[in-house]
C-alpha cells in the first residue's frame, strides 16, 4: 500500500512541476504581449474605476517582497565571486547602471518634465534601479556572456539599497523633498533582505536536492507580480492623465528615449573594449532596468503619479530589447555567412578549375 501511495504522490508532484514549468515557459515567451495587454486593460478599466488598482495597492509590500525574493533565489554567492574574473567588464556594467543611467534620466527630466515634479521623480527612479533580470535571458538567447550578465545583475541588486537613496537625493531632490533615511530603510526591508533571503534559501535547499528544475519558475513569479504592480500604476492614475493631453505627450516623449539611449551608449562603449559575447552581456545588463523594483519603490515612497513613467517604461523597454535582439541576430548571421564564404569561394574556384580542365 505504501508503495502505491508513494507512486501516486510522485505522479502528483510531477504533474505540479510540469504545470509550473508550462506556466514559466508561457510567461517567458509571451511576456511582451502580457505587458501590453495589462497596460491596455488597466487603462480601459481605469477610465471607469480605479478600484482594482486600489485593492492591489493594499498588498503592495508583500507583493514586492515575493517578487524580490524570487529574484534572489536565482542568485548564488558564487555569482558574486565571479566579479573578480572580469573586473573590467563588471566595472563598466556597474558604472553604466549607477552613474550614466541616473544622470541620463535626470537630463531627460530637466528637458521634458521640469514642471511636473512627480513625473520627473518617476523618470529619475528608472535610472537608479538595478539591472533587469530579463537581461540574462536576452544574453542567453544571443549567445552572450551569461556569467558576466549574471554577475552584473547580482551586484546591482545587492548595491541598490545603498545607492538608490543617494542618487534619488542627488537628482530628484531638485524636484521634490526626499527622505533619504526612510527610503534606505524601506529598501533594506523590501530589497536587500529578500534578496539575501532568496540566496540563502537556495544555498540551503541545494544541500538536500537539486533545485535547478525550479529555477525557471522564479523569474516567472517575479514577472507576474511586476505585471500586477504595473496594472495598479496605470489603473489608479489614468483619470488625471487623460484630462491633460499635453502631459501625455511629454510623458511619452521623455520615457521613450530612455532605453534606446541606454542601449546605444552601452553598445557603443563596450563594442570597442570587449569581444562580441561580452558586448551583448553589457549592452543588455546596462540597457535594461529592473522596472518592477522601480514601481515598487514608487508605490511605497512616493505619490501615485510617480509610478506612471515607470509603467509606460515597461512597454518601451521591451520594444527596445526586441529591436536590439533583431540587430544582434542580423550581425550574428552576417558573421556566420562571412565565415562560410571562403569555403563557398573555394568551392566555386574548384568548379571553375574543373570546368577549365574539362575544356
Bigger pLDDT: 96 or 179? 96
Cell digits for 301?
515612497
Cell digits for 52?
482594482
pLDDT in tens, 327-338: 888 877 777 676
Q: In the chain, what are the domain boundaries?
A: 39-315
Backbone phi, psi, residue 42, to 5° = -60, -40
Cβ pair 118, 176 in contact under 8 A: yes
Bigger pLDDT: 335 or 313? 313
Q: Where are the alpha helices (DSSP H) in the chain?
A: 2-48, 51-57, 60-73, 77-81, 87-95, 101-112, 117-128, 134-141, 146-171, 180-187, 193-206, 217-242, 245-273, 276-287, 291-301, 307-358
Determine the Cα–Cα distance for residues 238 and 48; give it in Å rounded to an integer.
Answer: 10
What integer pLDDT is reported at residue 357 of this predicted model? 37
Average pLDDT over every residue of 222-248:
81
Cell digits for 128?
537608479
What are the residues whose beta carbons fall under 8 Å from the beta carbon of 223, sequence distance 6 or more? Answer: 27, 31, 34, 134, 292
> Residue 289 forms beta bridges with which residues?
131
3-state secondary structure of 210: coil
> Is residue 100's pLDDT more than 50?
yes
What integer pLDDT is reported at residue 38 of this predicted model? 87
What does the angle CA 302 – CA 33 – CA 104 come to, to the nearest 5 degrees? 45
Determine the Cα–Cα distance for residues 122 and 174; give it in Å rounded to an integer.
Answer: 13
Determine the CATH number of domain 39-315. Answer: 1.20.1530.20
Q: Is 143 left (phi over 0), alpha (psi -120 to 50) or beta?
A: left
What integer pLDDT is reported at residue 356 of this predicted model? 33
Which span out of 25-29, 118-122, 235-239 was modeled with the highest average pLDDT?
Answer: 118-122
> Is residue 270's pLDDT more than 60?
yes
Nearest to 228 by CA among 24, 49, 47, 53: 53
pLDDT in tens, 82-98: 666 788 999 999 999 99
> Is residue 349's pLDDT more than 50?
no
Amino acid at each position: 500500500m505504501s508503495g502505491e501511495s508513494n507512486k501516486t504522490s510522485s505522479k502528483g508532484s510531477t504533474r505540479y512541476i510540469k504545470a509550473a514549468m508550462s506556466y514559466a515557459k508561457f510567461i517567458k515567451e509571451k511576456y511582451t504581449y502580457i505587458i501590453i495587454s495589462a497596460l491596455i486593460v488597466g487603462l480601459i478599466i481605469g477610465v471607469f474605476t480605479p478600484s482594482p488598482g486600489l485593492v492591489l495597492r493594499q498588498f503592495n509590500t508583500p507583493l514586492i517582497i515575493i517578487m524580490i525574493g524570487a529574484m534572489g533565489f536565482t542568485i548564488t554567492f558564487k555569482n558574486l565571486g565571479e566579479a573578480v574574473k572580469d573586473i573590467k567588464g563588471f566595472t563598466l556594467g556597474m558604472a553604466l547602471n549607477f552613474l550614466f543611467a541616473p544622470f541620463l534620466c535626470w537630463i531627460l527630466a530637466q528637458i521634458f518634465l521640469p514642471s511636473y515634479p512627480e513625473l520627473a521623480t518617476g523618470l529619475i527612479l528608472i535610472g537608479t534601479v538595478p539591472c533587469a533580470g530579463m537581461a540574462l535571458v536576452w544574453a542567453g538567447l544571443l549567445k552572450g556572456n551569461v556569467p558576466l550578465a549574471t554577475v552584473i545583475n547580482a551586484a546591482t541588486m545587492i548595491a541598490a539599497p545603498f545607492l538608490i537613496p543617494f542618487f534619488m537625493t542627488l537628482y530628484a531632490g531638485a524636484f521634490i523633498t526626499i527622505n533619504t533615511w526612510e527610503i534606505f530603510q524601506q529598501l533594506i526591508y523590501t530589497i536587500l533582505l529578500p534578496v539575501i533571503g532568496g540566496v540563502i534559501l537556495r544555498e540551503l535547499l541545494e544541500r538536500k536536492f537539486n533545485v535547478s528544475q525550479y529555477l525557471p519558475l522564479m523569474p516567472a513569479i517575479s514577472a507576474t507580480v511586476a505585471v500586477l504592480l504595473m496594472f495598479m500604476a496605470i489603473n489608479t492614475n489614468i483619470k488625471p492623465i487623460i484630462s491633460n493631453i499635453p502631459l501625455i505627450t511629454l510623458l511619452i516623449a521623455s520615457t521613450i528615449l530612455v532605453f534606446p539611449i541606454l542601449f546605444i551608449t552601452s553598445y557603443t562603449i563596450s563594442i570597442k573594449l570587449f569581444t562580441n559575447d561580452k558586448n551583448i552581456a553589457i549592452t543588455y545588463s546596462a540597457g535594461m532596468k529592473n522596472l518592477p523594483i522601480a514601481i515598487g519603490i514608487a508605490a511605497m515612497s512616493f505619490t501615485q503619479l510617480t509610478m506612471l513613467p515607470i509603467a509606460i517604461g515597461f512597454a518601451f523597454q521591451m520594444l527596445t530589447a526586441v529591436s536590439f535582439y533583431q540587430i544582434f541576430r542580423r550581425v550574428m548571421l552576417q558573421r556566420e555567412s562571412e565565415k562560410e564564404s571562403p569555403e563557398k569561394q573555394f568551392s566555386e574556384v574548384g568548379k571553375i578549375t574543373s570546368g577549365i580542365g574539362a575544356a
